[in-house]
Amino acid sequence: MNAPVIKNRLHVVDALRGFALVSIMLLHNIEHFDIYFSPANLPAWMVSTDKIIWDSLFFLFGGKSYAIFALLFGLTFFIQTDNQNKRGNDFRARFAWRLVLLFIFGIINSAFYQGDILTLYAFVGLFLIPLVKLNNRWVFAIALLLFIQPYELFNLFKAIQNPDIKLANPISWTYFGKMNEYVKSDSFSNTVYGNLTNGKMAVINWSWENGRFFHILSTFLFGMLAGRMNLFSQSDKNTKFWTRTFIISIVLFIPLFILQKHLSGLISSEAIRRSVKTIEASWSNLSFMIFLVSGFVLLFNTNAFQNILKPFSAIGKMSLSNYVFQSILGASIYYGFGLGMYQYTGATYGLLIGISLALILGLFCFWWNKKHTHGPLEAIWHKATWLGAK
């Protein structure tokens, strides 16, 4: 592989990671970092605009942006493992330590924002270690099995046997219901304690109830396969692959989306409907995520769009730092211990604030990357990963 191909591959991956991070940031801002509150006395036109923005952003990025992150996490795992294998090193123990460090970063992030994804990635990432030596067919088979949500399919089978069973409310609702007690208060210590206790339980339960653990590991493995197949390098063969993938993914997504909109009318049993909804959401989110990824790669590899999308690279190179920074900034803007802006901002204002934060972080990243090889937290992560190594 020649140098220009390697350089371009790194740019497209960094840009895609930056795109995912910005989209996550926009979602977090319109939902006030998990404070679902609609301000009173907003003009009618803004209420309508808020709904359009909310529906549009969640359609585009809800459940998809974190999956792009997961895909690239698996890709990065392959790159690091492959690089060490070429040097005659076994990266598995070092990767496990790297996940411990990621978990620590996730706990720090969780102190400000309970919806942290880093701790989940750190835990699920451990399951990559015993699978790294498997051949592509086995990895693909396991990824596909996880993708179809086997646990929820089991729940669906039980529900079909007893469709009239009364289901209890999801456990996560109890924890989410307590969130307002601390995030709206003016006590920073209460917010941190609440996020690290009640908040973590809310996220863990919600992730299990919605099949996220299976979905994350599945996407990790698909990312690892993409790395093995070198799909992010620029070539005619890969252009054909991404073009076919782009078409197939949207063809698969359309019937899934239509089904999603009509589930209530099609299935009367709540027990059956809940399982089908969880499975369908997982399938439709992944198919649309692949549509976004393939479309982004195809556009990035054209001269016309590369200069437009390349600024995302600066943000993507510092994705860990930016993910934590946006949580700290967002909590300070919306939560009670900060400016308490959740009381005054709807989705329109939230979107504007999110865009502003993305621009500020983008300028900071552009400046930082000129002087440093790694982002602030990435440098710590890198150095700590290789403690004791020559």
DSSP SS3 for 201: helix
Establish if 318 belongs to a structural domain.
Answer: yes
Establish if 370 belongs to a structural domain.
Answer: yes
Q: What is the pLDDT of residue 157?
A: 94
pLDDT of 10 > 80? The answer is no
Establish if 121 belongs to a structural domain.
Answer: yes
Q: What is the pLDDT of residue 15?
A: 96
pLDDT of 2 > 50? The answer is no
Q: What is the pLDDT of residue 82?
A: 94
Task: Report yes or no: 338 and 332 within 8 Å, Cβ to Cβ.
Answer: yes
Task: Report yes or no: 238 and 293 within 8 Å, Cβ to Cβ.
Answer: no
Establish if 115 belongs to a structural domain.
Answer: yes
pLDDT of 5 > 80? The answer is no
pLDDT band (50, 70, 90) for residue 265: confident
The model carries a pTM of: 0.93
Distance, in Å, from the CA atom of 115 to the CA atom of 327, rounded to the nearest integer, reads 9
Establish if 390 belongs to a structural domain.
Answer: no
Q: For the segment 342-381, what is each residue's pLDDT rounded down to a tens digit? A: 999 999 999 999 999 999 999 999 999 999 999 999 999 9
Residue 106 belongs to domain spanning: 3-385
Q: How many domains does the chain have?
A: 1
Q: What are phi and psi of 335, to 5 degrees?
A: -80, 165
Q: What is the pLDDT of residue 264?
A: 82
Q: What is the mean pLDDT of residues 265-275?
A: 90
Establish if 323 belongs to a structural domain.
Answer: yes
Q: What is the pLDDT of residue 40?
A: 87
pLDDT of 3 > 50? The answer is no
- The alpha carbon torsion through 271, 273, 276, 282 (nearest 10 deg) reads -110
Q: What is the pLDDT of residue 93?
A: 94
Q: What is the pLDDT of residue 41?
A: 85
Q: What is the mean pLDDT of residues 190-214?
A: 96
Whole-number average pLDDT of the chain: 93
